[in-house]
Amino acid sequence: MPGTIKTLSRLQFISILRFRNLGGNVTVHKLTIATVFVQSFIALARLSSTHATQPVETGHPCRLLCASYCFPGPAHYYTSRVFHQEELKTGRFSYCKDSYHRPAPNAARERHKPTEVEAGPRGRRSPGFCLACHCQRRRAAGQPFPNRMTQWYQLQQLDSKFLEQVHQLYDDSFPMEIRQYLAQWLENQDWEHAANNVSFATVLFHDLLSQLDDQFSRFLIENNFLLQHNIRKSKRNLQDNFQEDPIHMAMIIYNCLKEERKILNSAQLSNQMEVGSIQNTVIGMLDKQKELDAKVKAVKNSVIDVEQDIKTLEDMQDEYDFKCKTLQNRELESNGVSQEEFKKEQMNLKKMFLSLDLKRKEVVNKIVQLLNTTEHTQSALINEELVEWKHRQQTACIGGPPNACLDQLQNWFTIVAESLQQVRQQLKKLEELEQKFTYDPDPITKNKQVLQDRTYSLFKQLIQSSFVVERQPCMPTHPQRPLVLKTGVQFTVKLRLLVKLQELNYNLKVKVLFDKDVSEKNSVKGFRKFNILGTNTKVMNMEESTNGSLAAEFRHLQLKEQKNAGSRTNEGPLIVTEELHSLSFETQLCQPGLVIDLETTSLPIVVISNVSQLPSGWASILWFNMLSTDPKSLSFFLNPPYAKWSKLSEVLSWQFSSVTKRGLNADQLNMLGEKLLGPTSGGSHDGLIPWTRFCKENINDKNFPFWLWIEGILELIKKHLLCLWNDGCIMGFISKEKERALLKDQSPGTFLLRFSESSREGAITFTWVEGSQNEPQFHSVEPYTKKELSAVTFPDIIRNYKVMAAENIPENPLRFLYPDIPKDNAFGKYYSRPKEAPEPMDLDGPKGNGYIKTELISVSEVHPSRLQSPENLLPMSPEEFDEVSRMVGPAEIDTVMCSAYST
């Protein structure tokens, strides 16, 4: 054994042993090896087996214990594999057939071929082990699989509202990608124990790094450069954040897993309560999609059937024609045919004619039925599915749930269009047959024009409806504020044709126009006019889109206002941000015998000339798309309708969830509802809110409207408070009365964060409680705006905040984030890290500039009577009294004591 220890020291271990329950395996990771001896492996395995606590697998005595090592393989590869105990005992080893091996530096990757495996002492082969073939070998050996239904997998099956809660759990300190890659391993560790044990936390920390190394190796094998970069970055971040404090990492992971379980339980409870309605909704949606799929397939199959019938009809007509001509030729011959034979042939021809006529009628009737089915299916696509997609697009534009992909709709449109094109060709074929042979009454002659006209009409309607604006106009500088365009700033817009026909590629030239056929230009006084600058034509093609759809994207368009004689007056009924304009797009489909004009229109846009108008312009976009579905209603704001609070509250929540990971909860929305509807309304869902109340009138006694206040808070969150908002640290929207009601029963030093109601540009403050529950005292600090938060982060303000009364020692009154979260637990991960001072002998370190470094902290000065009540000042411990006596003279102490008890 001493020899073994000596050998192990030569191996230069970087990390300690770790034990892992994976089929009874005990694994050793991250070994840097100079020289390896087989005897060292055997000794190490026997040494580590004394620490194994996992039970032996029943029925598999050859797999009592395995140990994983890294040793030099062929071609200077570091080979990672697991040895079976019988291999370790006998000294007979084999390479794993399918295992990949981690390359040494500057070595090309390759796969090792297996060497011959010698039989173990039980007279059978002892295969090696690797992750790639683990499942296959377990299946062959009849062993159970590990549980694939991990907690992480279950979470990913939840609805978006629960997934949003999961997103809030993870940030840069412990990114979600690590949770994804190491899901099962993370869930198998005892993080609760690690959060209270430094040694165990250190073990798991190094284990986690080893797991990331393994994951990196897999990405290396797959030659996935991006994932390699991400995993290396994640590892570096973990080392930077937790190398000196692994318990903190264990606490974060333990809390994340615990919160995940809460979310799962909440989702299960919600599912149990709503299982009936959810099942009905899901089944309804699936049934509707299946129904449409069936209809589209029915159209396609009907076209195939008609095609086959026309071929049969053609064969019948050719045979009839051949026999007619044969009989005529035989009649003209010198020997001729007998009268009896001639009558017999004529009877046969008459029967063939009747069959031919019957087949023609059958084909015509089938085409009529086909067009009926096509019309019904097409109506569902255009009047239901496409309308629903456009409504979802409107909702997505104002921050709602992301719009569904157009690919499924495109697939349906394309199949129907191809079917109609085939019907057109089939009708041409019938026309050719008619020209070869016709009679009275010929069903083809009677119905061909009606069928051609109807087919053309259906195809025209389908192709015109398929021309849509896939991505609405938007400035790249403000991707979350589409439909608001600034003059002189480039914007983009994307068109798409849902009928994907190869013959249309590069054949449709799209032109963009501004305010085409807009009556408001002449009817509304002061209505502005604009010109489009940049390339206003584009050819639709399939190469421009990643999914191969037929599309055209305008990327470099700008607007310029037409300057009329004289200056613009403000006498018009609409202000600049209430003027709605539109972009129109035109193209023409030209095919032999087919010319169709295509046109579509964007949703109404607001054109601004100064970025300060953006908030008001966005308010107009919100109001219109919340209440209107007619994109041509450009005079909407001449008489804007009222909005129900139930709808407006949802849209307001979207404004937060679209730029952060959290929307607004019911309490926050109730506070905003009372602000708009009045305190007596209680945020009634049926309350009606006028447009002027939302965006134009000053709210209560403030000098700014409601929406501009909300917009200022959104900007503050995005630039300075995003992490705190995502974590749920900020209560935000709460009245002062509700604030005091929440804090009055809490421990002294409990505080909460809310947004100021008196700052237009957005500001945040905190209020804390002091004193006893019978006589609580509430203190609020002056709100912090973007000016202060640009100098010092809000977590640092909370950490360093001090209250000073007279000449007393400044102290931080903030102890618990409501309801009872220790301040450092809530904000610790966001505290600024102090920069390390250079070593005295560090010649490359920054040179001193002769100044003493300073740090900005927030200090509030209050009267001593507001700081603490007398019962909280006394009694003091002897150590506290000595400290006070050292800083304050006896006379001052007597003065304070006398004033405190003078009553």
Higher pLDDT: 168 or 335? It is 168
How does 490-518 read in b/e, with b if 16+ C-beta sit within 10 Å?
A: bbbbbbbbbbbbeebeebbebebebbeeb
Task: State the average pLDDT over residues 602-606.
Answer: 94
Q: Which residues, in sequence order, are bridge partners of residue 103? A: 77
Q: Is the pLDDT of residue 807 over 60?
A: no
For every residue of 679-703, DSSP letters joined together read TTT-S-TT-EE-HHHHHTSBPTTSS
Alpha carbons 102 and 189: distance in angstroms, whole number: 26
Give the Cα separation of 384 and 687 in Å (integer).
Answer: 31
The pLDDT score that the predictor gives to residue 301 is 94
Q: Tell whether the model's pLDDT for residue 817 goes beyond 60.
A: yes
Instruction: Indicate the average pLDDT of the chain.
Output: 76
pLDDT at 445 over 70: yes
pTM (whole model) above 0.75: no
Question: Is residue 873 over pLDDT 60?
Answer: no
Residue 889: predicted pLDDT: 62
Region for 349 from its dihedrals, namely left if φ exceeds 0, alpha if ψ lies in -120 to 50, beta otherwise: alpha
* Cα–Cα dist 470/544, whole Å: 13
Does a cis peptide bond (omega within 30 degrees of 0) precede residue 476?
Answer: no
C-alpha–C-alpha distance, residues 250 and 894, integer Å: 50
Q: SS3 for 107?
A: coil
Helix (H) or strand (E) holding 293: helix 246-332
* Residue partners of 483: CB distance under 8 A and separation at least 6: 397, 472, 473, 474, 602, 603, 604, 605, 606, 621
Residue with the larger pLDDT of the pair 687 and 454: 454
81-135 pLDDT, tens digit per residue, is 333 444 434 444 333 333 333 333 333 333 333 333 333 333 333 333 333 343 3
What confidence tens digit (pLDDT) does each residue in 264-312 have? 888 888 777 655 554 555 565 567 788 888 999 999 999 999 999 999 9
In 10 A of CB 187, how many CB atoms? 16
CB-neighbour burial class of residue 652 (10 A; exposed 0-12, middle 13-18, buried 19+): buried
Using alpha carbons, select from 418, 419, 473 the residue that is nearest to residue 600. 473
Range of weakest confidence among 24-38, 474-488, 498-512: 24-38
The pLDDT, as a whole number, for residue 136 is: 41
For the segment 757-787, what is each residue's pLDDT rounded down to a tens digit?
A: 888 889 999 999 887 667 788 888 889 999 9
Q: Which pLDDT value is given to residue 881? A: 60
Write down the pLDDT at residue 310: 93
Per-residue confidence at 851, pLDDT binned at 50, 70, 90?
A: low
**What per-residue confidence (pLDDT) applies to 545?**
77
Predicted local distance difference test score (pLDDT) of residue 801:
87
Of the listed ranges 34-48, 218-232, 716-730, the least confidently predicted one is 34-48
* Nearest CA among 749, 901, 758, 883 for reference residue 818: 749
Please give the share of the chain, as a percent, with pLDDT higher than 70: 71
